[in-house]
Amino acid sequence: MFTHDEILMPLALSVMIDHKIRDPELQEFRHQASALFGLFELEPMAEEALVAWFKNKETELENTLDGRRKNTEILRALTRFKEDAHVEAMYDAMVSISVADDEYRREESDLIKSAATIWGFQRPPIKVVD
């Protein structure tokens, strides 16, 4: 059984990993989260509740991404998912969020590469913008 936090954390990391929070990424975060809740048999959350969740976690996530435990926390967020359907859906959602602002940065690429390695996927051939 999964919690809303467990579903939202990898998605939020995809938004924040490059330290630039952009409206297209936040919009895609809300869209992907809503789609994933059904797959994981969780109650839907209203858009306002998703925005509030993100805002409540924003400082904590910034500190995590700037801290020395960054890789540990990313690994913890990703390794929770084991079933093929869950892994595939989460990976697709993370990629969609990462490219939503039409800027795929090195940090986003590294996060997607980590997820691909953990979950056994090929990394998508998306050009990194630096």
Tell me the DSSP string of 13-45.
Answer: HHHHTTS---HHHHHHHHHHHHHHHHHTT----
Q: Is 101 helix (H, G, I), strand (E, B) or coil?
A: coil
CA distances in angstroms from 67 to 56, 63, 73, 81, listed in the order given = 18, 6, 10, 24
Query: What does the alpha-carbon distance between residue 59 and residue 65 come to, in Å, rounded to a whole number?
Result: 10
Note the pLDDT of residue 33. Answer: 98
Instruction: State yes or no: pLDDT of 130 exceeds 80.
Output: no
Helix (H) or strand (E) holding 119: helix 106-119
pLDDT at site 43? 97
Q: What is the average pLDDT across 85-104? A: 95
User: For the chain, first and last CA: distance in Å?
Assistant: 39
Does the pLDDT value for residue 126 go beyond 90? no
Task: Report the pLDDT value the prediction gives residue 127, as an integer from 0 to 100.
Answer: 78
pLDDT tier at 24 (50, 70, 90 boundaries)?
A: very high
Structure tokens of 118? 């953990």
Residues in the chain: 130
Q: Please say if the pLDDT value at position 67 is more than 80.
A: yes
Q: Where do the structural domains in the chain lie, given as residue ranges?
A: 4-119
Contacts 24+ apart (CB under 8 A), 62-70: 62/16, 62/19, 65/13, 65/16, 65/17, 65/19
